[in-house]
Every structure is written in C-alpha cells, then in structure tokens.
Amino acid sequence: MTDLREENLAREIARIAEDKKAQDVVILEVSELTTVTDYFVIMSGQNEVQVKAIAREIEEELSEQGLEPYRQAGKDHGRWILLDYRDSVVHIFHRQERSFYDLERLWADAEEILEKESG
C-alpha cells in the first residue's frame, strides 16, 4: 500500500480537474502493478482547448504548493497530455483518445480510488 500523502496528491489533482470541468475523473492505484508510479489520475476534456486548460490549471495550482511536474508530454496538441508528478501520473485525454487508448481496461487490475460518475 502507498503512503496517504501520495493518495492525497492524487485526490488534489482530481479536485482541481473537476473544478475545471474535467469529465470522468478516475484515480487508479497502480503501486502494486508497476514501479513507475503509485497513482494514475485519468480524465477527459471535450476538446483540445479544454484539455489544455485542465492541464494548465493543475500545473498552476500545484506549482503554488511547490510541486512541479518531473516530466510532461502532449501539451502542444491537446489530445493526450501527460503530467508526471512521480507519485501521481496525470493523463488528460480528449474524449476520443480516451476511448481509443482505454487505460482503465489496460490497468483493470488496479484499485479504483475514485470512480467515474455514471451520468
């Protein structure tokens, strides 16, 4: 099991994303399945502009708390943006890419800490 502080970071990322109207936010605990990270925070945006806005908001709010991403990718296109905060890796998808890559299915053995709201 992972440290509670690490889960709190994942939950904080989810909160920021939901405040920015991200859709279908999910937190997967993957610490028992990979050494890369402890949590995946996965979400969708309706279009490239929203995907970029969600990423920007997460970066800005965490930066105010002294946290900067270790790595990032995809910010130019806004189809799948990845922000690596070491303990939590954030996947912000355009809704079409999320369906195509289906990370929840690929990591089906992971525990869902925060599940998508059915709607």
pLDDT (tens digit per residue) in 98-116: 999 999 989 999 989 876 6
* 119 occurs within a structural domain: no
Q: Span 47-51, mean pLDDT? A: 96
pTM for the structure as a whole:
0.90
Strands (E), the chain: 23-29, 39-45, 71-73, 80-84, 88-94, 111-114
d(CA 44, CA 26): 10
C-alpha closest to that of 44 among 77, 75, 22:
22
Domain range for residue 46? Answer: 4-114
Q: How many CB atoms lie within 10 A of CB 39?
A: 27
CATH of the domain at 103: 3.30.460.10
Q: Span 61-74, mean pLDDT? A: 94
Q: Span 82-108, mean pLDDT? A: 94
